[in-house]
Structure 1
Amino acid sequence: MSLILKANLPQVKDEVKNNTLTTYFPINTKDRVNTKDRKDIFNWDSVLGYVVKTSFRKELYIEKLTDEEKLAVKEGYITDSEIALDKFKKSCEKIFKSKLDENNFWPILERMYFENGQIYKLAPEFLLFKTIKQKGSARDESLGGMFTNQLQNFFFDEKPNNKFNFLEGLLYSELLQLMKPSKEVKEGKLLLSKPTEAPYLPFMAKQLQQDLYFLGKRPKYLLSIFKEFLRLYAHVYTAQLALNLNGWQKGEPQAQYCYYILDSEKASNERYLIKDYGFKQLSDALWNIFPYLSMNESLQSKKINNAINTIQPLWVLAENIQQTPHSVTLLKNYAQAFKENRELDLPLSESEDPQDVLADLLKLSRMQFGAKETRHEINKLYVKATESEFCSHFTQSRGRAGRVLVFNQDYLLLLTNLAIGEQDKLRFHELIKAFESRGIFFDKQSQQALIKFFERIGNVERMSDSGDAVYVRKTI
């Protein structure tokens, strides 16, 4: 087996570099929250566009900007995306005026579709305009890349089931004139591209692909919940990534206990699952994301022989070095160099087992952000940014019970529809299993609240008083 470990791993303290993280998680240290409750690092509309670009394997052909347009972009008067959309609008105006008897009708159509972003609600492909370079797009592309690397080579292989009226059909036809296959498609065939990262959570990647495929067959519904869908998966990915990081020696990750309640429920300290496997557990685990993933990244090469290398998860790296015992010398020297560079006090293992030395490196990576270390504030703000961006929609403060993980009605209905999928209905206990396969757990008390909620909105069939005879239907 070839060694994943970087061949030129630093062996002396002066060669050890600063911590960087560009794989497996989209928050950059430059994005750290440094003011109270600052949110919205990402433009989620732009992120939607990147997911569409990946899943449809399409992108827009955009003419080069004129010198005047370049200057306007540089001065901040307009963005590349706005220029592209304006050109598309003018093209549509020309088409409509050639087909309509009344030229005065165009301003009405312009208000209907181009004001307040209504054009983006016609079909997912219109969101491709959001992927055109604009301020902050690198950050949004990073979050889009997190989804892309989970989707791997997934794409919609069926023609979109769009249902348009006459006017919408003309707009869509004009959009098709701008669309071209992305670089992964050649002569109508998908070229299996080499993703930059192997999925860290294969079980989560599988669920994301399955759920997006289900939604892709229902474009109107997809557009109505697209942003919430991505927010949901960004959250559960964050939670399950954080909770699985410490289990790198156990092999491929599995869904870890992470308990939520309905936002209408009361929380109490007596509910030990909520207390022990809820927000507190997740909040503690978030502190591992930057130390563990930055160390994992530092141990691997992004390029080998000038070709892009697929970065592997920490648990794959652990399996790899276990099967290549000669890696222990490289790791030991790096551990010593890292310890000296960061001036950390940790007795290093004398074991010849590569995984024991990797464990030392992960301890050192975490220790450098300790409460008494100068780098502590870096990880503190990183965790704050992570909570703000990916956990705030699923967290509430509940008095003496403290902060708890919650699901509101909208996210619960979305999750239920995804879990039932192509089936008409599911037994309630099967629905709970489908939730858990996505990393979302409810205790018995919350499960009873779920049944009451489903009964209240009328999507329950109760065959008997037995829980096994309760069926839940989709709401779409």
Structure 2
Amino acid sequence: MRKIELRLEGKSGLKSRSLKQNAFQHHTGYQVNIFPFKTQPGGHIFKADFSSFQGIMGDVIRLSQKKDMHKPKDNVSYKADLKSTILRNALQKVDTNESLHLEDILSKLYFDTEDGLFKYDFNVISYMNFITTKAAIKDIPIFISDVFIEGNDRFKSLLSSKGNDNILNQLISESLPAQTERKESERDKRVFKNMIPAVVSIFQKDFNFLLDNKEYFLQNFEQFFKYYYFFYFSQLVLKLHEFGRETYTIKPIYFSLEWENLSESRMGLHKPGWQELSKQYDRVFAHANTLELINYIRVDDEILGDYDEISFRYNAFEDEEKDAFKNCLTELLDFYKVEVKTLIPPANWGECQAQLEASLENRKFDEEITKLIYSLWYTIRYQFENGKRKKPYRDYALWISTFAKENFTKSGGRLGPKFVLTQELLLFLTKLCVGEQQKIRLKDYWTKLQERGLAFDETSKLEIVKLFERINLIEKKSDSGDAQYIKSSL
């Protein structure tokens, strides 16, 4: 029989980690590391970084090179200090009597009006800094590195070549300040778990395609990672909402085009859309804590993983082992309700139980293990939504909801936000769908978009076809239009 136990005691046990000054404190990332989010500060303060994504990807590259940014002198801004350092180094390397003229040329060619360095090759991205100075955002590059980049030698090859035919590019590259060696922290040792291998698999395929088109990849570098970051977490919240009761498959999310106006009836058919996703975004902290607590249950000293992995393991148990596991879950739930004392009256555990039973009746779970997992999650969620910890609960969710809203939504007026694609992003994703082929059938194109997490209603599909006809991306094999192809634009 397998050894199944709930680790309450000991230095790394649940009591030691969660009970501080006679109060239960929620901590995530010790047992299983899933979300690169924080309760302090709230994600809404990082709007500019979420929109740009340059600082985030700059740190991803620095992580791969085990480097850290140079620190600006005194109170000078990072951009201003970087610009002055580059120009000073460049002028020292060139023997000229026209130093001021050369400085003016380099300044206009390589820097924007806010002193930002233009992106002319991949190595330059490592000099892109965060817009917001709060250190909490640095977990996002670590997440991207752990889940999407780790072990990918081709990503490192992207940065290995520093040769450049453009003599001015070469001069600027040679004038970049040296970066410091990155010191590994305890935080770096807590690796983020890949919860959606299917998304990462498609990412790798698209990444390899873009590597063969480096100039185009450079132009769309941030956009590519930004979309896959959204794709991953949107699929994750939908997956978690099933609590391991079914085999996970990618669930396409309904988008419309940025220039479309949606009626109420069309918006109502867009499921899952913003309304469904935003509801799940709001509950991510409850999931993070549920999985953290469940993983204090060990099977033969091993961590369990996510809901799917827990259900898979449970179904392989003997009857006696199943009973032992259910007892551990029940003990965990009882421990939580005894130790958490932050409910605001009239909220109470009796009311929570009554609401839970009604919710279980509505969800109609077949498996006993799924009901127990859901019960723990529901109890944790009830505590956050009806207790003194509403603000950290909301602030944690804002890390994903703000990101999604800033990059992929548009106001639908009284109907609320809706997921939209810009023409630029649509064409970029279309290139990924066509890939290395010269053309693909239109019906296959819709399938490939669905594989990448996107669904469109028939009206939006007609709009896409009209756009492609206008820019000559559609090829018709017959006058009737029965056989239509999407052409590659690379």
TM-score, normalising length: structure 2: 0.76
Shift in CA distance, 90/283, structure 1 to aligned 2, threshold 3 Å: same
Specify which of 120, 136, 140 is matched with residue 139 of structure 1: 136
Specify which of 353, 360, 382 is matched with residue 375 of structure 2: 360
Q: 1:334 corresponds to which residue?
A: 332
Shift in CA distance, 296/226, structure 1 to aligned 2, threshold 3 Å: same
1:47-66 paired onto structure 2 within 5 Å: 47-53=56-62, 57-60=64-67
Q: 2:400 corresponds to which residue?
A: 386
Q: 1:115 corresponds to which residue?
A: 111
Q: Is the 8 A contact 2:7 2:14 kept in 1?
A: no
* 466-475 or 133-142, larger mean C-alpha shift: 133-142
2: distance between equivalents of 1:2 and 1:451? 59
Give 1:273 shift. 6.5
**2:146 is aligned with 1:149:** yes
**2:210 is aligned with 1:215:** yes
1: distance between equivalents of 2:100 and 2:334? 76
Q: Is the 8 A contact 1:51 1:147 kept in 2?
A: yes
Alignment deviations for residues 136-193 of structure 1 (CA, whole Å, 9 cap, x no partner):
3633321212322321322426466876412213433566x95899999xxxxxxxx9
Q: Is the 8 A contact 1:124 1:223 kept in 2?
A: yes
Give 1:360 shift. 1.9
**2:306 is aligned with 1:313:** yes
Shift in CA distance, 390/134, structure 1 to aligned 2, threshold 3 Å: closer
**2:47 is aligned with 1:39:** yes
Q: Is the 8 A contact 1:214 1:418 kept in 2?
A: yes
Give 1:27 shift. 2.9
Q: Is the 8 A contact 2:111 2:118 kept in 1?
A: no
Q: 1:10 corresponds to which residue?
A: 14
User: What code does the residue aligned with 2:379 have?
Assistant: L
Aligned-residue CA RMSD (Å): 4.0
Q: Is the 8 A contact 2:441 2:486 kept in 1?
A: yes
Q: Is the 8 A contact 1:259 1:273 kept in 2?
A: no
2: distance between equivalents of 1:397 and 1:316? 38
1:76-91 paired onto structure 2 within 5 Å: 76-79=75-78, 86-91=84-89
Shift in CA distance, 91/442, structure 1 to aligned 2, threshold 3 Å: same
Q: Is the 8 A contact 2:199 2:232 kept in 1?
A: yes
Q: Is the 8 A contact 1:328 1:354 kept in 2?
A: yes
Q: Is the 8 A contact 1:331 1:354 kept in 2?
A: no
Specify which of 436, 444, 447 is matched with residue 422 of structure 1: 436
1: distance between equivalents of 2:481 and 2:334? 58
* 219-228 or 6-15, larger mean C-alpha shift: 6-15
Q: 2:168 corresponds to which residue?
A: 167
Shift in CA distance, 101/460, structure 1 to aligned 2, threshold 3 Å: farther
**2:263 is aligned with 1:268:** yes
Q: Is the 8 A contact 2:67 2:179 kept in 1?
A: yes
Q: 1:29 corresponds to which residue?
A: 39
Give 1:114 shift. 4.8
% identical aligned pairs: 20
Give 1:239 shift. 1.8
Q: 2:463 corresponds to which residue?
A: 449
Shift in CA distance, 148/381, structure 1 to aligned 2, threshold 3 Å: same
Give 1:78 shift. 4.2
2: distance between equivalents of 1:119 and 1:443? 41
Give 1:460 shift. 1.1
Specify which of 223, 240, 244 is matched with residue 239 of structure 2: 244
Q: Is the 8 A contact 2:42 2:395 kept in 1?
A: yes
How many residue pairs are counted as aligned between the two chains?
Answer: 442
Q: 1:127 corresponds to which residue?
A: 125
Give the secondary structure class of the aligned counterpart of 1:247. coil
Q: Is the 8 A contact 2:304 2:310 kept in 1?
A: no
Q: Is the 8 A contact 1:53 1:59 kept in 2?
A: yes
Give 1:47 shift. 0.5
User: What code does the residue aligned with 1:254 have?
Assistant: T
1: distance between equivalents of 2:48 and 2:68? 29
Alignment deviations for residues 238-297 of structure 1 (CA, whole Å, 9 cap, x no partner):
321221111231466321142111122231233377344222211222222111022213
| Structure 2 unaligned spans of 5+ | 297-301, 342-348, 358-365
Shift in CA distance, 425/243, structure 1 to aligned 2, threshold 3 Å: same
**2:260 is aligned with 1:253:** no
Q: Is the 8 A contact 2:257 2:460 kept in 1?
A: yes
Give 1:437 shift. 0.9
Shift in CA distance, 198/114, structure 1 to aligned 2, threshold 3 Å: same
Give 1:430 shift. 1.3
Shift in CA distance, 452/298, structure 1 to aligned 2, threshold 3 Å: same
Q: 2:484 corresponds to which residue?
A: 470
Q: 1:304 corresponds to which residue?
A: none
Shift in CA distance, 150/423, structure 1 to aligned 2, threshold 3 Å: farther
Give 1:400 shift. 5.5
Shift in CA distance, 24/467, structure 1 to aligned 2, threshold 3 Å: farther
Q: Is the 8 A contact 1:369 1:379 kept in 2?
A: yes
Specify which of 77, 102, 109 is matched with residue 106 of structure 1: 102
2: distance between equivalents of 1:272 and 1:377? 30
Shift in CA distance, 46/298, structure 1 to aligned 2, threshold 3 Å: farther
Q: Is the 8 A contact 1:60 1:178 kept in 2?
A: no
Q: Is the 8 A contact 1:273 1:443 kept in 2?
A: no
Give the secondary structure class of the aligned counterpart of 2:243. helix
1: distance between equivalents of 2:250 and 2:311? 20
Q: Is the 8 A contact 2:255 2:455 kept in 1?
A: yes
Give 1:441 shift. 0.8
* 444-453 or 274-283, larger mean C-alpha shift: 274-283
| Structure 1 unaligned spans of 5+ | 185-192, 302-308
User: What code does the residue aligned with 1:359 have?
Assistant: Y
